Amino acid sequence: MEYRILNVNGHVEVYDGMGQFQFSADTEQEAWNDLEELWNCA
């Protein structure tokens, strides 16, 4: 699945390929780590 990570006011937000919000994180690295955990659980 495709994801976008956007910087927003000092944190990052993750959206799926359809543009729907998935989750937020403090840093881009944290967002990538969370996505990796999500992929490993699927």
Per-residue pLDDT, averaged over 11-30, amounts to 97
At residue 1, the pLDDT reads: 82
pTM score, whole prediction: 0.86
Question: Which letter, b or e, does each residue of 5-39 get, where b requires 16 or more Cβ atoms within 10 Å of its Cβ?
Answer: eeeeeeebbbeeeeeeebeebeeeeebeeebeeee
CA distance 6 to 42: 23
What's the domain range around 11? 3-41
Dihedral sign (CA 24, 4, 34, 21): positive
Q: Which residue has the higher pLDDT, 22 or 42?
A: 22
Q: Tokens 């490993």 belong to which residue?
A: 40
Domain total in the chain: 1
